[in-house]
Chains A and B, each alone.
Chain A
């Protein structure tokens, strides 16, 4: 790897990492406002225009708090858990292809807008997602409090149950693209057709998409599967004993999980950066510059926004499941269905139907 390559890598990592942090900050505002709209309210609209500076105010408040840990906690793990969770959540973004197209900007040839095009990107993303759960579990354990421990316990069981379904729901797409690289998967639907139509994988695997959606909710600890937090039952669940920036790190990681899982969902089921009806985005020119990278990035972000809106919508609607029903639903409904659709897809793929 040349020096320029390494510099590029750092630049991209820096850019994506920081942009994602900005998006996270906005996410807290977006979620609160959207939730309000779903409840006939207005939400935070006082700080700055439309309340846009609310995240900054929250950040300032959290930063000014003491870096505090109760006496009974395991000090090292208590500090390490949020950092670890945040790291894992952030690492997933290394392999999410926000845009595949090469920028050709003012004669500069810049690399595609993703930090690392791993050939085992899916594995990496899932592993990092799963590892992030350890932060929650360790944080709950290290807090040495019964509520935190119960939250961690639930997170643990839930993670195991739904991680399987999540992976199985993604499996059909992997089989159809026969690749673990995110870029291959994002453009993989072009290799499959119904007539002359190359639909996104959501059409090929609608059941997989539905299961992915539900499992993603559980994976990101979102309502109605937010049992690890469960503020009505467990005070704050695993982050009961957390405050200030340590708590902020957990909240940050939770939203990053949400964004990451949305990005993965877009890549897998919504055709990545592709725009329907626009087969060759490179053909769209504006002032002699190809708009392909912008279109790609834009379409990816719009699709991610769709996922996020859906997640918030679901959170605004559905109450939290009872814990035993969560387990029953995971093991006795979702897992069999996921297995079934894997078998069906395996049959289709092995017969080569729709290939071309």
Chain B
């Protein structure tokens, strides 16, 4: 009897397997066509850093180096300098002349944004950081201050979820908000950094 039942069992099991794969054949595939379609990241995803400005265009960073101190990977380098009336870059007393992050060392832990007393640095959602050259992995201040590219060299860089919606980009410490709003109203048109006020 055993060979006979074995044949039946084998046939049945094989049929079940074949039906399963056939269902997969007609089922919806789960492949993401990467360069065209990007996997949406969660809002609090920790990607490429951003340096932020106040609404009046002044940089939030005051060059205190607390981020560099907090960084476990030691990938942040800050060189601070005094603001002068001729050259006012940040809202504070000092500003960062050099602000570099070595992206090939960064572990995206987010300690820097936690350490920052002015919310000057946050981790954005941009995760396409691959490059062909180590030198290009060092992100300078101008790169970090700029918006992440809306289109990159690999194709269309569609950022599915951004932080901009929840106001973090323009958020000021509550105690500063009123002052800055008043100042930016006075200064409109004569923005010291030459930038139009960023919303």
The answer on a CB contact under 8 Å between A318 and B17 is: yes
The answer on a CB contact under 8 Å between B14 and A41 is: no
Contacts of B130 in A (CB 8 A): none
The answer on a CB contact under 8 Å between A313 and B27 is: no
The answer on a CB contact under 8 Å between A316 and B29 is: no
- The smallest beta-carbon distance between B3 and chain A, in angstroms, is 8
The answer on a CB contact under 8 Å between B20 and A41 is: no
> How far is it, in angstroms, between the C-alpha of A176 and the C-alpha of B25 when the chains are bound?
38
Q: Among B7, B14, B24, which residue has its beta carbon within 8 angstroms of that of A38?
A: B24
> How far is it, in angstroms, between the C-alpha of A158 and the C-alpha of B196 when the chains are bound?
78
Contacts of A39 in B (CB 8 A): 24
Asked if B31 is at the interface (CB within 8 A of a chain A CB), the reply is yes
Asked if B22 is at the interface (CB within 8 A of a chain A CB), the reply is yes
The answer on a CB contact under 8 Å between B25 and A37 is: yes
CB contacts between A and B, total, < 8 Å: 39
- The smallest beta-carbon distance between B23 and chain A, in angstroms, is 10
Asked if B132 is at the interface (CB within 8 A of a chain A CB), the reply is no
> How far is it, in angstroms, between the C-alpha of A37 and the C-alpha of B18 when the chains are bound?
13
Counting chain B residues whose Cβ lies within 8 A of the other chain, the interface size class is 10 to 19
Contacts of B27 in A (CB 8 A): 40
The answer on a CB contact under 8 Å between B21 and A313 is: yes
The answer on a CB contact under 8 Å between A41 and B22 is: no
> How far is it, in angstroms, between the C-alpha of A317 and the C-alpha of B14 when the chains are bound?
8
The answer on a CB contact under 8 Å between B29 and A41 is: yes
- The smallest beta-carbon distance between B10 and chain A, in angstroms, is 9
The answer on a CB contact under 8 Å between A317 and B29 is: no
Contacts of B21 in A (CB 8 A): 38, 313, 316-317
> How far is it, in angstroms, between the C-alpha of A314 and the C-alpha of B17 when the chains are bound?
9
Q: Among B3, B7, B18, B33, which residue has its beta carbon within 8 angstroms of that of A317?
A: B18
Asked if A289 is at the interface (CB within 8 A of a chain B CB), the reply is no
The answer on a CB contact under 8 Å between A42 and B24 is: no
Asked if B30 is at the interface (CB within 8 A of a chain A CB), the reply is yes
Interface residues of A (CB under 8 A from B): 34, 36-42, 313-314, 316-318, 333
Interface residues of B (CB under 8 A from A): 3, 7, 14, 17-18, 20-22, 24-25, 27-31, 33
